[in-house]
Amino acid sequence: MSSEKVDTDTSSTVDVTKDGVHVLTENIFTDDAVDPVYQAKAHILNDALQEVGMGRYQWGLFVVAGFGWLADNLWPIVTGLILTPVVSEFQFQGPFLKLGQNIGLLVGAVFWGVGSDVWGRRISFNVTLLITAIFALAAGGAPNYIALCSFAAVWSIGVGGNLPVDSAVFLEFVPASHQYLLTVLSIWWAFGQLIGSLIAWPLIGNFSCELTKPPNCPRSANQGWRYFLFTMGGLMLLLWGIRFFVFKLYESPKYLMGRGRDEAAVDVVHKVAAHNGTTCDLTVERLWAAGNLGGVGEEKALDTSAKGAVRRQLSKFDARHVRSLFATRKLAYSTSLLIILWAFIGLAFPLYNAFVTYYLATRGADFGDGSLYITYRNQVILSVIGVPGALLAGYMVELPILGRRGTLAISTALTGIFILVSTTARTSNALLGWNCAYSFTSNVMYGVLYALTPELFPTKDRGTGNAIVAAANRVFGIMAPIIALYADLTSSVPIFIAGAIFVVSGFIALLLPFESRGRASL
């Protein structure tokens, strides 16, 4: 195989082969992206972690960090799984439950993301699952819908912090050669949906009021959703216990270095090396030397106060980084379309998923088989069908004709089409079949979306770009239950709205001006 190396800038080397283009990134940020002292020291720590290698500590972290991915997908579907029985018991407008949850998710993502830079990764990492567990268990005993919605909002504050914190923790310990494992962690995301559906099936399906007998649904005949929340809360408590008592998480060396605690950062790297059975030649003197960027007598000091840590975190949202995402007409066009895509999908996905269980049950009742048991059995089937979708996405995005853009457009449009067509089903099996198709294509869509988005942002502004699209996704996620409040849950209105938004998003994806297949991201 022929190969040549081309230096494109000071921060990366492109290895061009006949099979494509691969970027070997030495330093993810350019000199003007972050504090130069921090960047110099972080580069030394990256080299040290590469020397330590991928060992027992990082593989253990892969597991316990995966718990965060599991929780991130599990809890948003929990409210959908319990929606039918809680509406039957409390006789309230179900979208209020999703509204409380989505507000909590937004607050959690912001609070824990910034907080982990103030008081450290370790505290945040060890607290989020505990908060989720405590308030989920409390929700199981909720006496009314106000208490339930309130508990859902608080447990979601814990859930919302998992991905921002856990992804940072994992990336700051894993060697650069294995950073691709951050993508592989999404396998835990699929397990979250599957576990929730499997447990909801027997508990809610067998211990709930039938939809054919409203409004006579007393608590004594409707304990299934409470058993389910107790079980899920107990699972979170177990996973937290494994994190806290079984796996010893060291504070992130990059966080310690950023707070001026160079000795502690070096000590952590050596502890990880010892845990892996290897050695490392990192010394605190090397980190100190990195602070003398301008030569003797011109040492640049890093602000190590809590205020300085917050300032560095907020600097990601500096207006210069935002302006850079709109620096040219073509880049501004691309960035705008990505924001719209994430916003629309952030609206359509929860709008559909929040009410699909209720919709399946009521439609099933029309077919004569609308028992809750059948409804949750179908939910398990949908969860299993969705798992291979992400695997197919990894294959399709490398196809010459389709690439990222084509795969995203087709899978997004098909997701909407399958949702819309499902409303025409006249048999229970037909309805299940259409929804299986939706589950499969939506997983392909998300697999491509999560890969394509960061590729279309310049490296030095990628954090800002990801933050903007994520914010758009969460804000529109809050709008979903508000819209649903004005829709009849027993009708197809939420389904039609969600399907139409997905179809429109598919056409928007075709308008993206850049195709990243076979090209190195800048």
282 lies in the same domain as 339 = no
Domain assignment present for residue 35? The answer is: yes
Q: Coil, strand, or helix at residue 203?
A: helix
Phi, then psi, of 27 in degrees rounded to 5: -145, 120
Written as six digits, the tokens of 311 are 């300032």
Residues of the chain with pLDDT under 70: 1-38, 113-114, 117-118, 164, 179-184, 186, 211-215, 291-321, 353-372, 390-391, 393-394, 397-398, 451, 454-455, 457-467, 484, 487-492, 515-522
**Domain boundary pick from 266, 300, 317:** 317
> pTM for the complete prediction?
0.73
In angstroms, what CA-CA distances link 157 with 68, 112, 127, 198, 257?
13, 9, 11, 25, 28
Based on the domain organization, do 499 and 379 belong to the same domain? yes
Cis status, amide bond into 143, omega within 30 of 0: no
Residues 476 and 448 in one domain: yes
Q: Is residue 245 part of a domain?
A: no
pLDDT attached to residue 167: 73
Name the burial class of residue 387, with classes exposed (0-12), middle (13-18) and buried (19+) by CB atoms within 10 angstroms of its CB.
middle
Residue 40's domain comprises: 30-52+253-317
Which residues, in sequence order, are bridge partners of residue 15?
A: 5, 22
User: pLDDT tens digits for 392-441?
Assistant: 766 776 677 777 788 889 999 999 999 888 877 777 788 788 888 988 88
Residue-level pLDDT at 241: 94
Is 449 in the same domain as 505? yes
Q: Is residue 397 part of a domain?
A: yes
**348 shares its domain with 479:** yes
Instruction: Verify that 25 and 35 share a domain, yes or no.
Output: no
Q: Look at residue 94 and tell me if it is in a domain.
A: no
**Model pLDDT, residue 237:** 96
